Each structure stands twice: as structure tokens, then as C-alpha cells.
Structure 1
Amino acid sequence: MSESTTARGITAEQVEADLTRFLEEHTRSSWDPDTDLFATGGVSSMFAMELVVHIEKTYAVAVEGPDLRIDNFRTVRAMTALVLRLAGNRE
């Protein structure tokens, strides 16, 4: 299994594409995977909660405790890494 694929077969490319699409649909802006969504004003703390719900529902993972840190949601790549880690921990 490669680093970018979880035990459930989710790839980094799939997650990144989904999260980018979700962001673009909700913000009506295009986003580079490394853009700081909070520093640019693209995402508010309220919208961050929508991101959490989207991630939990889409990938059947629980984002809780220390995983709720803003740094995990700062960029599309950070969210992708979070999803892959959480999905990979579930067997």
C-alpha cells in the first residue's frame, strides 16, 4: 500500500479533488491545494465546521479531539492528510 492510499483504497488524489470541488462549490472561488484558506479569508470558522461534517460523512471518519485543530483544515493538502490518516486507522 502506498503512502497516499489508505487501507480502504481512498487515494490522496481522490480526496484532494473532492475537497477542492466542495470548497469551490461553497466559496465560488478556485483554490490551490497549498493555499491557506483561513489567512486568505476564504474560509470562516463557521464554514470550517461544514468542512468537518463533509469529511465525516463523505469518508465515514470521526474528526474529534486533537484532530479538530485549525492546522488540519488550513489547506486542502492538510485536510487530505487528515482524511487519509483517519481512514487508514480504521480497519
Structure 2
Amino acid sequence: MPKDIRAQIRAFITAKFPSMSFSDEEDIFALGFVNSLFAMELVMFLEKAFATRIPNEELTLDNFRTVARMAGLVERLAAASAAS
């Protein structure tokens, strides 16, 4: 599942910024092509694509800096949802 999550997140970002190349571990904000508006698009994409709700306490920049961190957030939320 993690590779599939990463692939979907990467596809979403690449569709918006086709000329940019980045690894799953690179900080997309530090690369300079992501702004706060796109950050909100990422939140909405993750919630819709993975049928989850991201709680306010998880809406920190650190959770969205890299494809790997976003995938980790989705996995954590799915695990918490499954456990409840």
C-alpha cells in the first residue's frame, strides 16, 4: 500500500508541476514550487483520494513537506481509523 499511496501523491503533484522533478524524500516547499494555496489543494486531494479526514492537529507543514511524509500521514490516519 505505501508505494501505491506515494505513486498517487506523486502523480497529483506532477500533474500540477510537470516540469519539476523531485524524489519522495525531497522537501517540495524548499524546492520553491509549492505555495500555501497548493498546500490546501494537497490537503483536499489527500482527503478525497484516500477517503480520510485530516484533523486540524495534523495540518502542519512537516506532514506535507515530502511525498514520503504525506504517505506516512495517510497511513497513520488509516491505521487510527481501522483501530477505532
TM-score calculated relative to the size of structure 1: 0.84
**Structure 2: which amino acid aligns with 1:43?**
V
Measured in 2, the distance between the counterparts of 1:42 and 1:16 equals 19
CA displacement, residues 51-73 of structure 1 (integer Å, 9 cap, x when unaligned): 00000001111112210000000
| Alignment-derived partner of residue 3 in structure 2 | 13
| Alignment-derived partner of residue 66 in structure 1 | 57
- Tell me how many residue pairs correspond in the alignment: 81
SS in 1 for 2:81: coil
**Structure 1: which amino acid aligns with 2:3?**
E
Measured in 2, the distance between the counterparts of 1:30 and 1:16 equals 15
Measured in 2, the distance between the counterparts of 1:87 and 1:55 equals 12
Please provide the CA RMSD for this pair. 0.9
Q: Percent identity?
A: 38
Does structure 1 residue 36 correspond to structure 2 residue 27?
yes
TM-score calculated relative to the size of structure 2: 0.91
**Structure 2: which amino acid aligns with 1:19?**
I
CA displacement, residues 8-48 of structure 1 (integer Å, 9 cap, x when unaligned): xxx11000011011100011122210111111112111100
Gaps of 5+ in 2: none
| Alignment-derived partner of residue 78 in structure 1 | 69
Q: Which runs of 4+ in 1 moved over 4 A?
A: none
